[in-house]
Structures are given as structure tokens and as C-alpha cells.
Amino acid sequence: MDTKPFNIAIVGGGISGVTLAICLLQHNVPVTIYESAARFGEIGAGLGMGPNSVRAMGLISPDIVAGFERCVTLNGDGNRSNWFTVRVGDQRKAGPDGVLRQKESAGLRVGDAIFEINYTNDGQAGGVHRAHFLDELLKLVPKSVQRLGKRLVDITSADGSQDAVLHFADGTTAQHSAVIGCDGIKSRTRQILLGEDEAKPVFTGKYAYRGLIPMEKATEILGNEIAANSQIYLGYHGHLLTYPIQKGKTMNVVAFSSCESWTDPQWVVPTSREKMLADYEGWGATVGAVVGAMEKRDVWALFEHAPARTYYGTGPRICLLGDAAHATTPHQGAGAGMCIEDCAVLGRLIAAAAAAPDLDRAFRAYDRVRRPRTQRLVRTSREAGALYQFELEADDLDAIQRNLARRMAWIWDADLRQDLKTALAMMLRDERG
């Protein structure tokens, strides 16, 4: 296969940027990754990957799937079909006798399992540690295409063409046929493409405490069956997730709560055990014990992007991918999977281009196919957070179960091969006029 007569700049060296680079390099597209940090890395610990995510990996390279399998952590019972077991964690949902309202006939109490949310097919899925998965991806990208310490400041048009000139904080520049922004929710490429106001992230009214508990300690608190398998605890204006990471050595905890505004300029700040426990006052003993045992505690403000009018521009050529295009809340565990889907579609469209002018049509087809699906995720993920916190269906457990039974299928069961065929056909029709 001949090397393509154009070259691509990827801004951002996280999971999205590195995955896209792997796809492009397989199709002999010259590519350079520009990362602002001095080393590649991901913040946070646990990252969920649904069946759609793993199918998207397979569309790009079996080597990515193999890397995923090397670092995936499954439920301790080996059940790959279970996403989460749902429980109520808030004592205020129980009557004076401690039994959950609506579950009196079954005698279920706070902390007991109510129902399971299961994947709607038998595809591969599971959780990974963000940094470990990124390390697996980086094994597939030669160092010759990696540029570290390159913080993007601006993108301008090259004289006489639609090429993009990237300007970096260190005073250097680089010219490429196109720029793909994979630089996350605070994306500079998004600001350049859409303008400061439209690109600004929006606070969602939710924040999350994130922390870790050694599995030995988690087992003492919860018992092995609960600690080693994924759980979600529902409550009033808050909810809590626990699931195993690091091959079962650690239990990851994400405890969500609500506030009207976020005024701290930092989105991730250290927090105290006392502040966390105060947020869960009135919850049951199980949640209280988990929150009290969390190590390496941080509080994360949850922001998202308002709908973008477009994911691309052609003067110069800029295209947004992943969180730079559609940053979302984590309530459906699908943000990273959507980023990988983006890579599978955009990477193949770029590979179908014969020359630089064809990239305009590639970006247009990508925008038409990917923007509706990814914007839907932003909206429904925020709804899911409200659902878990008794704000969407109130505290009606039966209605919540019905909602969750149908909520995730459109994400997990997507026909990504058909989406790719549709996008390639759109690109071809544009060529024919």
C-alpha cells in the first residue's frame, strides 16, 4: 500500500488520540501525535468498556483487542454478561422496619440486590485501568510519530491551501494537511473551531468522589461476592458505584452527589473523609463504610459539552474526535467507547481519501454519521444520572427497573460495520456530486 500524499496532526495523546493514530498508521497515513504533557498519561482509574467499544477496537486492529484483554478486569464471579447489580443505598427509602418501600413483599432492605443490568448480547466487555490500557495502545505506536511537551496555542491557515499550521507554546510550528482534535473536554482545537463561547464546557450539577479500596479491605466490608463484582447504589440526589480494577486487586469507588454550581477553577481537587461522609449522612451502613474506607480521595466536578453545530471545518481543515467533540458525564459508562467508535469511523474515512482535498468529504461524512449518535449519548447519560438519583422516575423502583431494562441497548448493540458502510457511501456520493 502506497503512503498517502497527505499528513495528519493529532492533538492529544490520550486513549482517543493514540487509538486514531494506530488506525491511520495501519493504512499508511502519515501521522504525528502532539501531546502537551511531558509524558503520555491518563487521569483517573477505572474505565468501563461495553461490547460496542470492543467491537470498535476489532474494526481497527486485533492488536488493540488483545491489549484490552491483557488489562481487562472482569467481575469476580466470571460473569461477563452482568454490567451492574442495582441496590438502594439510601436509608431514607426504607420504612421504620428497615424494609424498602415497594419491596415489602420480598423483604428487601437497604443494600440488598434488587435487580441486575445485563449486557444485551454476548460480546466482550469489562473494565480497565485507564493508564494500563493506554500503555497497551502505546506499544502499537512508534516513538518516531510522538511529540511530547507540545501545548497547542493556535491553528492558522497555510498560505495558498487548506493546510493547517499548528502554533505551540514553545514557539514552534508544524504544518499538516489536517488537524484532528483529540484533546479532551478542555480542547483547544474545539475552541479554535467553534469559538470560546460555544466550546465552553457546562457544569452538570453533579460531582463525584473517586477513590480506591484494596480488595482485601473491601472484602472485609462487603464480602467477596459484592466487593468483587460491579454494584450501583441508588439514592436521593446521589448514587455510588463500586467495581473491581487491576485484575481484582483493588475496588474502585465513584460516589456521586449534587450541587447547584461549581466555583473552584480546578475541576479535580483533594477532599476529606469528613466531607464525603457528610454528603452521605442518612444513607445506610454499607455506603457509609465504603465511603469511609476510600483511599486517595478526590472530588471531580462533572462537566459536559453543549451540542456542537459541527465537528469539522475546512479552512483550515480541523476535525474533532472523542471528548473534544462530545464530552459527556460517565453515567452510562460509554464515553470512552464512543471515542473508540469515532476512531474506527474517522480513521477508515481518512484512509479512503486519495488526496488532501478528499479529507473535506471524509470529515463531512464523519460528522453526519457520528454527531447524532454521540450527541444522543451526552443527553441520555445526564438522564441516567438523574435516574440513579431518584430525579427522573422519582424513587419508583419499578419504573427505574423498566427504564434501565431498555436504556442501554442502543449503545451496546449498535451495528458499527453498517455505520462505517453508510459513512463511506456518503463520502463516495459527495465525490460524484
Query: Angle formed by the axes of helices 130-138 and 15-26, to 10°?
Result: 20
Annotated catalytic residue within 210, 364, 370, 371: 210
- Distance between CA 235 and CA 258 in Å, rounded? 11
Is 210 catalytic? The answer is: yes
DSSP codes, 329-358: -STTS-HHHHHHHHHHHHHHHHHT-SSTTH
- Distance between CA 84 and CA 16 in Å, rounded? 25
Cβ contact 317:295 at 8 Å: no
The one-character DSSP state at 90 is B
Cα-Cα end-to-end distance for the chain: 27
- Distance between CA 294 and CA 98 in Å, rounded? 26
Quick one: residue 111, left, alpha or beta (phi over 0 = left, psi -120 to 50 = alpha)? left
Which of 329, 319, 323 shows the shortest CA–CA distance to 423? 319
Cβ contact 378:311 at 8 Å: no
Which of the residues are catalytic? Answer: 210
